[in-house]
Amino acid sequence: MTQAIRISRRGMGALLGLGMLLVLGLGLWLSLGRPLHEPTLEFSGDEAYLHVSAQMNFGPRVTGSVANLAAGNYIAAQLAKYGWETEFQSFTYQDTPVRSIIGRANRGAGPIIIVGAHYDSRRIADRDKIHPDQPVPGANDGASGVAVLLELARVLNLKKTPYEIWLAFFDAEDDGGLDGWNWIVGSTYMAEHLTVAPQAMILVDMVGDSDQQFYIERNSDPALSNQIWAVAAKQGYADFFIPQPRYALLDDHIPFEQHGIPAVDIIDFSYGPGNSYWHTTADTIDKVSPASLERVGRTLVAFLQTTSK
């Protein structure tokens, strides 16, 4: 009986030890509010491509149109789905309703970085030799940048991001020179109505071309450009992010630079042979590559999650 009693006590000690481990594990799970081995999300070009397709299904997203309104509602719904605070910035320009959208996350985590794209498409394809009176479909010039931002909203690990992030979706960017319209109307309005000073602004525009080559845009902040291109090289994308200056563009980053905010335009402005797809009816979804979207998205994730304040 004496030996039997000793074995029982040992068994009881083992059970108590196991119980304590289970309690500690449960407590840790509850304190984190998620499983102990939460999977890490990666930016997916295929997922981003679905957002391109969704926008294209609305038709041309001309400012003030039903399709533009639907696209804006879609963007806001996706941001809400991923837990981002959403704000509409509405105003009237040339008797036309304009509505930009801002998604915010990581409030107070650090300096603000704005990542932006325009979601409107050009009213007429005035560079098209055959159909200059038709609207631009806007797959690469508009939908690609929006798709990158929406996939970024899904996958960005905010715990590893030392910034407050704003995802800005600009309206009324692309009708410049038509009927007295200016370019970059939505971004200009947003920059003029800032009540805080963001640390930086990163624009993604025309980023989905399958023949992808990003040169440094000459009106962009040189130091910030070099940082982003260096991050891209570390991701293995040196063949696509080429650290040489080319083009000087009027784009949605300019109003922020004019307000003293370092800004960069990530843009591949060679779209089709001789830039023949830009502002034409050839700007269709078959020109957009999931792999191209993925390279841009993963570069942005790496930059935002690893760059110190």
Give 168-208 pLDDT, tens digit per residue.
999 999 999 999 999 999 999 999 999 999 999 999 999 99
Q: How many helices (H) and strands (E) does the chain have?
A: 8, 8
Dihedral of CA atoms 218, 241, 301, 117 in degrees, nearest 10, equals 50
Nearest to 189 by CA among 298, 282, 102, 279: 102
Band of the pLDDT at 17, cuts 50, 70, 90?
Answer: very low
Element (H, E) at 70: helix 66-81
Compare 158 and 307 and report the one with higher pLDDT: 158
Q: What percent of the chain has pLDDT over 90?
A: 85
Q: What is the mean pLDDT of residues 95-108?
A: 97
Output the pLDDT for position 113.
98
Output the pLDDT for position 244.
97
**What does the alpha-carbon distance between residue 173 and residue 142 come to, in Å, rounded to a whole number?**
9
Output the pLDDT for position 23.
36
Output the pLDDT for position 306.
79
- Rama region for 95: left / alpha / beta (φ>0; ψ in -120 to 50; rest): left
Output the pLDDT for position 134.
98
Output the pLDDT for position 15.
37
**What does the alpha-carbon distance between residue 71 and residue 76 come to, in Å, rounded to a whole number?**
9
* DSSP notation for 96-148: EEEEEEEEEESTTSSSEEEEEEE----SS-TT-SS-TTSPP--IIIIIHHHHH
Band of the pLDDT at 35, cuts 50, 70, 90?
Answer: very low
Q: In the numeric block, which tokens belong to residue 142?
A: 């508009």
**Residue 16 pLDDT > 50, yes or no?**
no
Query: Spelled out in words, what is the top-level CATH class assigned to the domain 40-306?
Result: alpha beta
**What does the alpha-carbon distance between residue 234 and residue 228 come to, in Å, rounded to a whole number?**
10
